[in-house]
Structure 1
Amino acid sequence: MGKLSGKTALVTGSSRGIGRATAIGLAREGALVAVHYAHNEQAAQETVELIEKDGGQAFTVGAELGTPGDIDQLFAGLEAGLTERTGRATLDILVNNAAEVSRGTVPEEVTAEEFDKAFAVNTKAPFFVIQRALGLIPDGGRVVNISTGLTRVATPSQAVYAMSKGALEQLSLHFARHLAPRGITVNSVLPGVTDNGSPVFQIPELREQLSQFSAYKRLAEPRDVAGVVVFLATEEADWITGVSLDVTGGGLLG
């Protein structure tokens, strides 16, 4: 029996990287996991297969967040999948991980479209995902929002991305206060540079450069972050809410 046996979870953006590792980690503790994807259904199905190979349970749900009708589409698939497998549409754990990744644009070159897309996916979508999920989350539920360590440092080429994630942390703070009477915890996790499998991380010179941001002088693996998210979903984390938890591997130690 895992620590999350009998629980259900939704992890947005869980077809790869931190989202995939989080979905796998939650499933290993016994949760039934809804694996969300925007475009790559095959990659999401691979996450499901990895979970099932490990003895867990999962299913996919598709929706492009940050677009019209996204919340309705997401929850139609989620509720159908949960009801089919458990007989009810109850969601115990919500992890907002899906993000519009920064292109590293200097402030002078940021377009209105780029700005709006970042906030649509990284800020607006999580807000309304939580809003809709509140009708499904029982007392004692868990919400974890994946932010970034970039909200703690000045990196001009990442300004819009960091701004959108900083707003996400404010969302966590205020929802934590709002939902405390129901025993629902809401926290933010702030990863550092994490090897999510993108081709850029296969460039040796760049890997070495990015590794220097961590006090351990290595890139984070998705499981390094996922372990913290899984912990926040367990009963052991009952007394933690409204926190922005640094998971940068000492990236802010100087």
Structure 2
Amino acid sequence: MSGRLSGKVALVTGSSRGIGRATAIALGNEDASVVVNYISSSGAAEEVVRQIGADRAISVRADVSKLDEIDELIKQTIDRFQKIDILVLNAGLLWQNGSLEATDEKMFDKLVGDITGPVFIVQKATPYLRDGGRVMLFCSSLTSVSMITPNYLLYAATRGVAEQMSRVLAKDIPKRNIIVNTISPGPTGTECQWCYIYIAIGNET
């Protein structure tokens, strides 16, 4: 019996490890074809491809904070699978030393990449998103909890941008029934992250 995502193509950024890895494998387990994006962990990315199956998965190295590498990521995806049905924007930096006092321009500029990536990946992927597609931005529960500590200033700021982006994009690209969601996990073990992706995809995909 085919999985419920048979025939669908998913692009998952930052999917060689952690939540992204679990998400990619979960999609593959439902028979989606998956593009496994990574920046440095080529061995880990290839292991994800192996688990899904080389007939339905490829790994693509790309730093999604850089526009030329985003272009190459989208190009390799379309060259192999001709379309995108599910776009999962998971890649990002967990910066835990970003208090106001500790913040400098170099650190700030580095974290800006966490905003650059989602904006331009969605922009460049949208022409290839099929009708009824899904876009999912990973945010964080730290944008809303009162117990957040000062060292998360920069991280919470970038995740807050992702949260607001999803609200605006949900109004900007719904013309072909493309649904945009935000996923905001807290500190969790990645072995069980499949539950997040299923909630976000919904039953119509």
Please give the TM-score of this superposition, normalised by the length of structure 1.
0.75
| Cα distance in 2 for residues equivalent to 1:5 and 1:233 | 14
Partner AA of 1:59 in structure 2: I
Give the total of aligned pairs: 202
Partner residue of 2:175? Answer: 181
The letter of the residue matching 1:135 is P
Q: Secondary structure of 1:180's match?
A: coil
Q: TM-score, normalised by structure 2?
A: 0.92
Q: Give the alignment of 1:205-216 within 5 angstroms.
A: none
Rounded to whole Å, the distance in 1 between the matches of 2:175 and 2:72 is 29
Note the alpha carbon deviations across 1:93-143, whole angstroms, 9 max, x for none. Answer: 0000000221323220112111111121x2111110000111100110000
Counterparts of 1:224 and 1:104, CA distance in 2: 27
Question: Structure 2 matches for 1:104-253, cutoff 5 A?
Answer: 104-120=97-113, 122-153=114-145, 154-193=148-187, 220-236=188-204
Q: Which runs of 5+ in 2 are unaligned?
A: none
Structure 2 match to 1:198: none
RMSD: 1.7
CA distance in 1, matches of 2:78, 2:198: 22
Asked if 2 retains the 8 angstrom alpha-carbon contact of 1:22 and 1:223, the reply is no
Range 125-134 or range 73-82, more displaced: 73-82
SS in 2 for 1:230: helix
How far is the alpha carbon of 1:91 from its aligned partner? Answer: 0.2
State the distance in 1 between where 2:120 and 2:68 align.
Answer: 11
Q: Any residues of structure 2 matched to 1:76-115 within 5 Å, and which?
A: 76-82=75-81, 89-115=82-108
* Cα drift, residue 68 of structure 1: 5.0
Q: Which runs of 5+ in 1 are unaligned?
A: 83-88, 194-219, 239-254
Percent identity, aligned pairs only, is 38
Q: Whole-Å Cα distance in 2 between the matches of residues 51 and 226 of structure 1?
A: 14
